[in-house]
Chain A
Amino acid sequence: MAKPDELIHQSLRLKIMAALHAARAEEGIEFSRLKALTGATDGNLGSHLGTLETAGYVAVAKDFVGRKPRTRVSITRAGERAFREHRDYLREVIESGG
């Protein structure tokens, strides 16, 4: 039986992890695009990314494109494993009927 991950299960953090997991072949997702994909606000997204980063599930990289600052977020190996395990847990809950 897969284990649940309370940190990931929070609604917005689950969406963040789903978006980053779907884009894991890319070099991360820009902050503004992640905001659009998850429907989050700036402050909310930043706060939850901080939680996920502390847990080692996401990596945040900041650089400049010309003079414009850019923040890119990507999922780590540990994040991928944790997300997949939590998703498996959700599927098992449905299959077992609770």
Chain B
Amino acid sequence: MSLSPQQAAAALDDIDCVEQRTYRARGYAIASPYLILWGLIWIAGYGACAVLPPERWGMAWLPLVIVGALGSTWFGMRARSSHAGSAERSSFGQAAVMGLAIFAFIAAVYYLFQPQSPLPYLIFPSFVAGLVYALAGAVARMPRFVWIGAGVFLLTLGGYAFAPQWSAIWAAAGGCGLVAGGLWLRTV
């Protein structure tokens, strides 16, 4: 068997292409349950914000965030037991650090700008989430994350622009976008 450099290069390109597709599919499969879980939490949380007075929003979100943290921990443990490598361990640690950094960033922005209306409290986290998904997708070369981030961002921004009085509903719709995105990732 004798190959020319061109044939060898074409075969290596095929290998590289399939490997990238495999890594991407694996990343999507790992991320899918997180998106679905947090999408459902968003829907419940912002749905509660739509019907409760602002002073009770914190009480509505607290148990939901606890459920989300516990669920995420369980997904992480399940991923570690079914995938023997250390990559999932580090990605779970990275996700925890990212979550804390995003929470700190949103809290700092609220502290800095002291919004007088409750609407920014409803809308701003969706913008940040959209940005984070789009950036993560661009960095990790996972284009579906970019589409999910753009979808959440545009849905929330568009809703706020046309009917700001329904901001909680638009934010909840962003949660629907996450659920749909999580289901979409499972189709790879």
A residues lining the B interface (CB < 8 Å): 4, 6, 9, 11, 14-15, 18-19, 21-23, 25-27, 29, 33, 36-38, 87, 89-91, 93-94, 97-98
Stretch at the interface among B12-20, B31-39, B93-101: B12-20
The docked-state distance in angstroms from the alpha carbon of A73 to that of B87 is 21
Total count of chain B residues near the partner, CB < 8 A: 24
Instruction: Please tell me if the beta carbons of A25 and B14 are within 8 angstroms of each other in the complex.
Output: no
Given contacts A4-B1, A93-B5, A94-B9, 4 further A-B contacts (CB under 8 A): A6-B1, A18-B14, A19-B18, A94-B8
Q: Is B109 an interface residue (CB 8 A)?
A: no
B3 at interface (Cβ–Cβ under 8 A)?
yes
Of the residues A6, A14, A25, A29, contact of B83 by C-beta under 8 Å: A25
Tell me if B's interface is mostly helix, strand, loop or mixed.
helix
Judged by DSSP, the binding face of A is helix
Query: Which single member of B12, B18, B84 contacts A22 (CB below 8 Å)?
Result: B18
Q: How far is it, in angstroms, between the C-alpha of A83 and the C-alpha of B22 when the chains are bound?
A: 16
Interface string of B22-43 (1 = CB under 8 A from A): 1101100000000000000000
Distance of A33 Cα from B160 Cα, bound (Å): 40
Q: Among B3, B11, B14, B84, which residue has the most Cβ atoms of chain A within 10 A?
A: B11
